[in-house]
A and B are shown apart, each in its own frame.
Chain A
Amino acid sequence: MFHLLNAGIDWGLAIEKLLLIVVVVSIALGFAMYSTYGERKVAAILQDRLGPNRFGPLGLGQPIADAIKLFFKEEIIPNRANKVLFVMGPALAMMAALMTSAVIPWGDKIIIGGKEVSLQIADVNVGILYIFAVVALGVYGVMIGGWSSNNKFSLLAAIRGASQNISYELAMGLSIIALLFVTGSLSLKDIVVGQQETMWNVVYQPLGFFIFLICAFAETNRTPFDLPEAENELNFGYHQEYSSMKLGFYLFAEYINMFMSSVLMATLYFGGYDIPFFNEAASTLHPNWIALLGFLSLMAKTIAFVFFFMWVRWTIPRFRYDQLMHLGWKTLIPLALFNMLLTAAIMLYLQGR
């Protein structure tokens, strides 16, 4: 037993990371839980209604009531469905949604008992590539769920979702390449530090940010790109046969995805945990306070983005499928390529000077 404990593993680090994972995942879940409340409230306010206001002050207990409702619903697995894949679908969707949080820097560092603790689960030097890989995995949740349901509508929706995600991932990748020309690093931590030292990346990459934003809408299956769950065309989309908590996981994964892409946009283009108009390096505040303020700054940016997601959802109707493909392949990809070439040219010019 002891030789295992002494096998060169830093147990302090392992425990520290484990705690960080628990905290980050619970924050992500809590945030997703309250974005369902936020979504209903924003929808209501934009439509001159009141929204949930019965359970708890301002209706803040509503997510709990929703969760209880979903838990107590009957769990139905269709007779002809592929049982293993049917259960795996929502699990994969949930897992892929949560895995993104591993490489996001949630703050600078805190000091506990003289020990520096980084507020990033893993500072992978290919952080952006990792995120792309995980986001691509998210398609499997949709695809497997739709296919294993043994239902034509679900399958149609799943195919729509998969083709949509793949199409928009291209433009997203190209817009990120332009960003990488500017930052010169794939690590999310380095990108944030770079933005702290100079300017937010959105100043250098407005077009790139714009393309990334549109693609983020498409990747999270939000309106106007919610074709995989088009209620009026496909009954309910890829999760039509699902009920109880399995359905809950799918719906939840969507909100976690929304949260994660908001955090990602804030990190890549809006300075991450950088506090605007405040020089962290020159400040005399205790690092713990700076980390807390930085985290709050990141959360404020995230909430602004999440609100924007909801605001757009209750404004714009859904794209038709051909319009969706037209926009993705014939507009966004050429635009992203143009942006990439322009950025490359400018960077080369600046270096050659």
Chain B
Amino acid sequence: MEALTNRAKQIDRSPMTAWEKMYLPAIVKGLGITFSHMFKKRPTIQYPEVQRPFSSVFRGLHVLNRDEEGRERCTACGLCAVACPAEAITMEAAEREHGEENLYREEKYAAKYEINMLRCIFCGLCEEACPKDAIYLSETFAPAHYDRKGFIYGKDDLLIPDPNTHREAYEKAAAGRVRHKVSAF
């Protein structure tokens, strides 16, 4: 009968020879193997100080984006909430008042925008559904909390810092991904 895979390994069950019964040659060989590992390269990454670069398609915590003038892009259309298979996103819409043009890009905006990170499966469908390039998945992941409330992220947790007033924080949060899309817009 032909083997399904060629991974089966035949084990030699014949009784040990006198040489093998001495154990010592095998032990010396083993000691040599462990000793050779002293000169191998260590794959350890010193985590808090050194961080491994994320894959370019890594999907982490969400970021609500702003445009070049620092206005929120989200119009509270609700497409992300519809697209979300885990039903993690809820929002409340509001109308832009006079004098708020520098805050919100269009006439409608999200007064409340919440993502439940315990429900979220980080599939990125919200990012794909968004017609306004307002939501992105970043390269950070959700930190630990002591209660469930901490995992419900509101607008103040999600919104990216203003690129005009807090350039550095904006760059850090955008982490090379959001900026690319903004300039392509």
Interface residues of A (CB under 8 A from B): 45-50, 311-312, 314-316
Contact = CB atoms under 8 A, between A and B. Distances in A.
Given A315-B27, A316-B27, A49 B34 contact: no
16 contacts: A45-B37, A46-B34, A46-B37, A46-B38, A47-B37, A48-B40, A48-B41, A48-B43, A49-B42, A49-B44, A311-B34, A312-B31, A315-B30, A315-B31, A315-B33, A315-B34
B44 A314 contact: no
Given A48-B42, A48-B43, A315-B33, 19 more contacts: A45-B37, A45-B38, A46-B35, A46-B37, A47-B37, A48-B40, A48-B41, A49-B42, A49-B44, A50-B42, A311-B31, A311-B34, A311-B35, A312-B31, A314-B34, A315-B31, A315-B34, A316-B27, A316-B30
Q: Which 10 A-B pairs have the closest CB atoms?
A: A315-B34, A315-B30, A46-B34, A50-B44, A315-B31, A48-B40, A46-B37, A45-B38, A48-B42, A50-B42
Contact of B37 (A48, A50, A312, A316): A48
Contacts, number: 28
Contacts of A50: 42, 44
| Interface size grouping (class) on chain B | 10 to 19
A311 B40 CA distance: 16
A133 B145 CA distance: 58
Interface in B135-175: none
Interface in B25-54: 27, 30-31, 33-35, 37-38, 40-44
A131 B166 CA distance: 74
Contacts of B42: 48-50
Contacts of A46: 34-35, 37-38
Contacts of B33: 315
Contacts of A315: 27, 30-31, 33-34
Nearest to A317: B30
A50 B43 CA distance: 9
B16 to A, nearest CB: 12
Contacts of A45: 37-38
Contacts of A311: 31, 34-35
B8 to A, nearest CB: 24
A47 B40 CA distance: 9
A316 B37 CA distance: 15
